Amino acid sequence: MIEDKLNLTYYKGTDTYSDGDVEDEILKAVEDYEDPVELLMKESSWPFLYHLSPIRENVLEWYDFDPEGSLLEIGSGCGAVTGLFCRKLRRVVGIDLSKRRSLINASRNKNHDNLEIMVGNFEDVVIEEKFDYVTLIGVLEYSIYYIHGERPFETMLEKARSFLKPGGKLIIAIENKYGMKYWAGAREDHTGRLFDSLHNYKGVEKVRTFSRDGLEAMLKEAGFRVNDFYYPMPDYKLPEEIYSDHYLPGPGALRHTAVSYDRDRYQIFNEAEVFDGICADGKFPFFANSFLVISSLEEKQGETGATVYAKFNRGRAPQFQTETLICESEGERCVIKKALYEAGKEHVQSSEWKRDLILRNYPGIQPVEVETDPAEGKASYPYVRGESASSLLLKESGHPDRLIEKIRNLADQLLQVSEEARAPFAVTQEFLQVFGEYIPEEGQECPGVSGANIDLIFDNLIQCDGSWRAIDYEWTFNFLLPVNYIRYRAFYYFYDYNYLYMKDRIDRGTFLTRLGISKKDQEKFLAMEEHFLQYVHGKNRAYLYTANYAKPDHNLLPLLTKSGNLDGEIQEMRNLIKAQKRRIKDLKQTNRDLKNSLSWKMTRPVRAMADLLTRK
């Protein structure tokens, strides 16, 4: 029984924290849909996305929990990450203020017999048990709701500490009060207003977030001697990547504006462009949008194989969803790719034969070695240290002629196909399934390659010890593909990723044409690409369902950077307002003159009609 998972001993009969009646809809949806993604593809309401999306689990999917451990989840809510904990640990106890939310959580996790949910105020609940892990995921900032007293945030950390076993860990996820998205025009997540956190929450009573230094100081005051900071991007709610102090993003790594799903936002400047400079100067930890902190009371002893970076592909169809981890032990790194679902194990373990094809077909490239574990649906690769071809080429972005020449030379060197792998291109059934139709121009010679890695883009080619290494060959196919399509993708995605620096110097079509991709082939290859993306992300890219929830992004950049004097633009607007005020004043005077000209001998009803007419 679902209710059996709920402990109502401390529940006072009122849900003091709620998203409102939408939670009833969420409860019904959870009961009706076995797979929440099917529902999320049809919805567009933020509470559904926030509470039900599997993307929420990315925040700790990568973490190496002790499977025999126990975990206390303070503020378990509707169970956004509770199911993850139930799958990874022996025992999970949740605490939440809301009975309705706890019912949703229990319903979602009805098949897990290792879950207990205690309903009531955290301050009132009595728990004698000690845990290996205590979590505050999106909770610390709301401590005022849970804790009475002058120091609610510090008290929350102290109480959380009291539930830990010796050697236990506290895990916190929270927004950064100085997150880049807030400077750029996103509304504060909790108040819905601009710049509240930057103004230090002036006039705001119920919520607080903290800077990195401020949060770390509070943790140390509470007795946590070791605090490992991680940085979920674009934030901890719907993270796609997790960085750490041991693996920070470099210039070019952060290319997208933080999308707002709960309310509209503004764009005052281009976040990607600003992040390039911030990452180059080593200031990313200060401006990261969110923090994930794993804190210990004792110094770490003998820990190995720590994950320093994680990336997730939840926007794909289940058979292609993966997580990619960079792990570090005694200064050595390795890369691990895992299937997120059973259906994806075959996709991951196919890495070995894909590497063999690239090794045979592309003499200019040395693909990284791979070891697969079929039972785990896992592939392991050595970490390659070096500079990507994309990074090298970007240095010439200000000189289109030199850039195109370098790209052409590099493509001839790295994307050259061996004679043994070449054959006249012909459409096969396998090709049609993945890429749709492609008909070469009449009379055009169209060489094909049998066994091609379409992801030989410049970001995936690393110069290391005098040779070029391919670090990603997930999308390798053992049927014929047009040779020029492989080149097109390398060129297209270089331009796309570096659009900020290319758009004012050369347009995409001209760029591709000068690199040997005709306009007709650009159209055909773009159609192939769309077909491929539907193969990966589902029909109509259904698994990229977060796009359905995105709220308007009001781009103020054109106004703020418009050529000419901005003060002049503002003055012009003021003049227009003054002119409008004068016009209104003149109309009012005309109205008064008309009234005065009417005979006051008119009957009252006629005068009333005249007033009405003149008012209009």
Task: For 261-299, write each residue's pLDDT tens digit.
Answer: 999 999 999 999 999 999 999 999 999 999 999 999 987
Helix 519-537 to helix 483-497 angle, to the nearest 10 degrees?
80
Segment 330-351, tens digit of pLDDT: 889 999 999 999 999 999 999 9
Q: What is the pLDDT of residues 463-477, one digit of tens each?
A: 998 899 999 999 999
Looking at residue 303, its pLDDT comes to 53
Q: β-pairing, 164-175 with 131-137?
A: parallel
Q: Are residues 108 and 225 in the same domain?
A: yes
DSSP lists the bridge partners of residue 332 as 329
pLDDT band at 19 (very low <50, low <70, confident <90, very high): confident
pLDDT (0 to 100) of residue 586: 72
Q: Please return the burial class of 168, using the count of CB atoms within 10 Å of its CB with bins 0-12, 13-18 and 19+.
A: buried
| Phi, psi (deg, nearest 5) at residue 109 | -115, 30
Using the predicted structure, report yes or no on whether residue 581 has a pLDDT greater than 80.
Answer: no
Task: Examine residue 173 and state whether it is found in any structural domain, yes or no.
Answer: yes
CATH number at residue 478: 3.90.1200
- Give me the domain span that covers residue 434: 387-553
Confidence of residue 590 (pLDDT cuts 50, 70, 90): low
Pick the last residue of a domain from 301, 320, 344. 301
Q: Are residues 598 and 493 in the same domain?
A: no
* Strand-pair category, 371-373 with 422-424: unpaired
Residues 577 and 548 in one domain: no
For residues 176 and 274, membership in a common domain is answered with: yes
**Per-residue pLDDT band at 597 (split at 50, 70, 90):** low
Q: What pLDDT sits at residue 21? A: 86
Give the H or E element holding residue 55.
none
Residue 105 belongs to some domain of the structure = yes
The pLDDT value recorded for residue 606 is: 46
Q: What is the mean pLDDT of residues 397-417?
A: 95
Residue the block writes with tokens 């890219």: 541
Q: Report in angstroms the alpha-carbon separations of 110 from 32, 102, 139, 251.
A: 13, 12, 24, 45
Instruction: Say whether both 472 and 576 belong to one domain.
Output: no
Asked whether residue 506 falls in the same domain as residue 610, the answer is no
User: How many contiguous H segments (helices) and E segments (strands) does the chain have?
Assistant: 24, 23
Digit-coded pLDDT (tens) for 59-71: 999 999 999 999 9
List the beta bridge partners of residue 137: 173
Same structural domain, 545 and 573: no
Sheet holding 422-424, edge to edge: 422-424, 447-453, 476-482
Q: 301, 328, 361: which is the final residue of a domain? A: 301
| pLDDT band per the 50, 70, 90 thresholds, residue 568 | low
Cβ neighbors of 28 (< 8 A, separation 6 or more) are none
Question: Within a domain: residue 275?
Answer: yes
Query: 557 falls in which pLDDT band (50, 70, 90)?
Result: confident
Does a structural domain hold residue 459? yes
Q: How many CB atoms lie within 10 A of CB 21?
A: 9
Whether residue 472 is found in the same domain as residue 609: no
Confidence class for position 302, pLDDT limits 50, 70, 90: very low
Average pLDDT of the residues in 562-573:
62
Q: What is the DSSP string of 383-422?
A: PPPSEEHHHHHHTTTT-HHHHHHHHHHHHHHHSPPPGGGE
For residue 13 the two structure tokens come to: 């009969």
d(CA 551, CA 198): 22
pLDDT > 60? residue 564: no
What is the pLDDT confidence band of residue 576, given thresholds at 50, 70 and 90?
Answer: low
Please, which residues bridge with residue 28 across strands?
none
| Whole-number pLDDT of residue 560 | 80
User: Do 547 and 587 reside in the same domain of the chain?
Assistant: no
Closest CA to 484 of 422, 547, 556: 422
Q: Is the pLDDT of residue 256 over 80?
A: yes
SS3 for 235-257, per residue? CCCCCCEEEECCECCCCCCCCCC
Residue 328 lies in a domain: no
Q: Could you give the maximum distance between any two Cα atoms of the chain, in Å?
A: 107
Section 498-509 average pLDDT: 93
| Over residues 558-564, mean pLDDT | 71
Domain-embedded: residue 307: no
Mean pLDDT lowest among 23-32, 218-227, 486-495: 23-32
Mean of per-residue pLDDT scores for the chain: 91
For 482, other C-beta atoms within 10 Å of its C-beta total 23
CATH of the domain at 109: 3.40.50.150
**Are residues 170 and 288 located together in one domain of the fold?**
yes
pLDDT in tens, 189-216: 999 999 999 999 999 988 999 999 999 9
Residues 120-171: pLDDT tens digits? 988 889 999 999 999 999 999 999 988 888 899 999 999 999 999 999 999 9
In 10 A of CB 567, how many CB atoms?
Answer: 8
Does some domain include residue 357? no
| Total of domains in the chain | 3
Same domain for 202 and 231, yes or no, is yes
Could you tell me which of 3, 263, 35, 284 has the C-alpha nearest to residue 116?
A: 3
Whole-number Å distance between alpha carbons of 432 and 437: 6
Token pair 């997930």 in the structure block, residue: 474
Domain contains 142: yes
Residue identified by tokens 């993850």 is 84
527 and 581 together in one domain? no
Which of 301, 318, 347 is a domain's end point? 301
Indicate whether 558 pLDDT > 90: no
CA–CA gap between residue 427 and residue 69 (Å, rounded): 54
Quote the pLDDT of residue 592.
64
Whether residue 528 contacts residue 297, with contact meaning beta carbons closer than 8 Å, is answered with no
Give me the pLDDT at residue 612, please. 45
pLDDT digits (tens, 9 = 90+) for 520-555: 999 999 999 999 999 999 999 999 999 999 999 998
Name the band, by pLDDT with cuts 50, 70 and 90, for residue 614: very low
